[in-house]
Structures are given as structure tokens and as C-alpha cells.
Chains A and B, each alone.
Chain A
Amino acid sequence: MLYAILCYHDEDFVGSWTKEQDEAVMKKLAVVQDKLTKQGRLGPVARLLPTTAATTLRKDDPPLVLDGPYAETKEQLLGFYIVDCNNLDEALDVARDLGAANPGGAYEIRPVGLFAPGKSGKVPA
């Protein structure tokens, strides 16, 4: 079963990290990701740009375009992982490992219903 691990954290807080702190967190996360990759369990991983770069389309008639993220929350959706796990316990273990590497905030673990890996080869720098 594929699980999405959705990463929520206070964007102001993450934005207050120095470059060194940010790099240190990314490095620790990479260790967890490498382990999953070696086990052949890691799907796509994304870190999203700040919510200030977000735009929301409300599917009204006609659709309404709004600046900013869908919901104003204390913690924002900042990224996600797709991980192959046998059950929820395994998915929670992965989330715990990730959480130890990057404390604070929360992970939402959601089983994936439909997954299309896609073919866009474009990778942001």
C-alpha cells in the first residue's frame, strides 16, 4: 500500500532557520530517505515553495482565483513523501524517523487511492 506523508509545519518558523540549520535538517532527512530508497520503498518527494507563492482556484461558477493557500492555518502544508508500506504501523515508523530528523509540526499519513507516477522529467534545481 502506498502512503502519502503530508508535512505540516509553521512556515514562519521554518523560514527563520539559518541556511546552515536548513541544510542540516535536509541532510538528516536525506539519511532517512536513502534508507527507504535502498529498500525500494520511496516514491516521489516534494518540498513546496512558501504559501506566499500559492494560488487557489475555487471551483465556483465561474471559478474564482484567490491569492494564497487553500486554508489559513497555523501550520502549513510544506511538502510530502510517497512511501510504500505494508500497513499503517510501518508508515508511522517512517513518519517517526522523519520526525526525529526534523522535529516540530505534524505529519498527516494518508493511504493513497490512485497513483500515477507521471512522466514529467523536469526537476527543479
Chain B
Amino acid sequence: MVPMLEAHGLRKKFGRTVALEGLDMVAESGQVLAVLGPNGAGKTTFVRLVATLLRPDGGTLVVGGHDVRQRPEAVRRIIGLAGQFAAVEPTMTGRENLEMVAQLFGLDRRAARVHSTEVLETMGLSDAAGRLVRTYSGGMRRRLDLGASLVGSPRLLLLDEPTTGLDPRSRMDLWDAIGALVARGTDVLLTTQYLDEADHLASRIVIIDRGRAVADGTPAELKQRVGRNVIEVHVRERRDLPQVAAILSRMSRPGDAAPIVDDPTRRVTCDVEVGMERLMSALRSLIDGGVEIEDIAVRQPKLDEVFLALTGQSLDTGSAQPSAA
């Protein structure tokens, strides 16, 4: 089967600024691919190249079997784009916006109306369909914008930071909407700087940094690539904490970071190698030592820990990011 997307050595410069420097990426059909990276990594440039809004300076980019340079009109026929802004017309109703895009897609009036009704329903905007968009909330505009990118029934949906600037509630709504599309079989390429978003939505993640792909895999694979799990022990009595820390540090290898003791919450956390044997022996030592354990958990590292390990810099997930469960 032809890959949905194939980039080889993709390059793009703006004046002296190099946005993409030999990006390689292959995306099979049937995936939600998240392109993850910090600001300025080249995410938006990549989406704009796929959407035929920009022409590559070098390398090849093939979307749905069509080369973006040779057959851009064929690429446009199979993609839907929702950019960083809600590109909808405020002086038209939600329905009129969708019908306009549907007609531009080549649907006749009747088909445009039918498609728009379906999309309004999918996006949960049926009740607001007849209202002017200037009365919509930010979240509703984003949903309508996503709807506009869908109304031509694209095979590949391109979402450039779809939830940037949304409040947590609207963000979850949008995630639900994207989830529904995926269930329906639309391929999605989305960019994000939110790790939890990539983790939540994507079946595959490509991490890009300074115009190159630095890692590629399922969320679980990427976490595994870092090779470490985190063990977290929650004890009943505060006085047991030093003993637990000592046992856990015996378990780790020389050169590893020491266990972190959090006194107020009565917790000790420690990086551990993947592998159950050491873990079991540590557990045995804890029980033999008479430590009363409230809870014990082994978890995979979070994606921001992965990003840090792969690129040597941390992804800014600061306070602006609404945290999702």
C-alpha cells in the first residue's frame, strides 16, 4: 500500500533561517501521526509543505502517492487543513462557512448542504449552525474550523497545533472530535508542543528538533527507548523513608541518580532499569525489613522526560498548558 506520507531529505529555508534540514519521515495509512517538537523546530513549516502552501527547497515529499511539487492539485484534493488560527468567516453562519468550503471543494449545492449538516453534527454545532460565527466562543470557532477542514471528506487531515490557546474544557472537546474522526478512518497528521496531546491522540509520534526527525515510534516505544521506568513507593510511616531509600539505591546501578525522598507525601521515587528481577528483590527486601507499604507503583517515564533524554533540552510545558487527566 502507498504510504500516506513520505518525506526524504526534505529541506526548506526562509532567507538564512533553515526551517527543515533533511527531514525524513514515512507515515503509513491508518495512523494518527503527531509531530512533536519545541517552538521553531519546523513543525508548522512541515505541515505547510504537506498542505502545498509552501514549496520544498530540496528533498522529496509525496502525499497520498502524489509528489507535492509535480501534482499539488491532486494533493489538495485529498487533504484538509486546519491551521493555527480559526480560519472561519465571522459574518457568516456556521453552516454558510461549511457550505462555502464544500462548494469550493467541488460539491454541488445539495451535496454541500448534506455534508455540512453531517459535519455540524459531528462537531456538536448543530444547534449553533444558523448563528453568525462572530457570536461563537473560541472553542466553537476552532471546532467549526476543524469542521471546515473535514467537509471535503479528506483522506488526510492536517492539524497544526489544533488546541493551542484553548481552555482545558474546549481542548478536551476538540480531542473528542478528533478521536471520532480517527474512529471513522481519517488519517491525521497533527503538530503539537503538548506531550499529553501527542500521548492522548497519536498512534505514532515523530519528534523533531532543529528541522530534523530525532525520534520516531509509538508513544510506548519512545518511552521504552529511554530505557527507564520509575518506581514510586508510598510508605505508611515517615520513619521508614530512609530505609526505603537505602534499599532502592542498592537496586540501582553505579552512577545512577540517588532516590528522591519526598517527606511530606511519604514517597520515595527512583529510576530503575527495565526488568523485573531487581524490582522483585527490592520488594522482598522492603517486606523483610518490616516496612509498611501503602502503595507501590512502577510507571513509564512521561513523554517530556523522553524528550529531554532525546534532545538534551526540555520541552516547555509550562503553566500555560492546561493539564489533562
Do A and B interact with each other, yes or no? no
What is B's interface to A at a CB cutoff of 8 Å? none
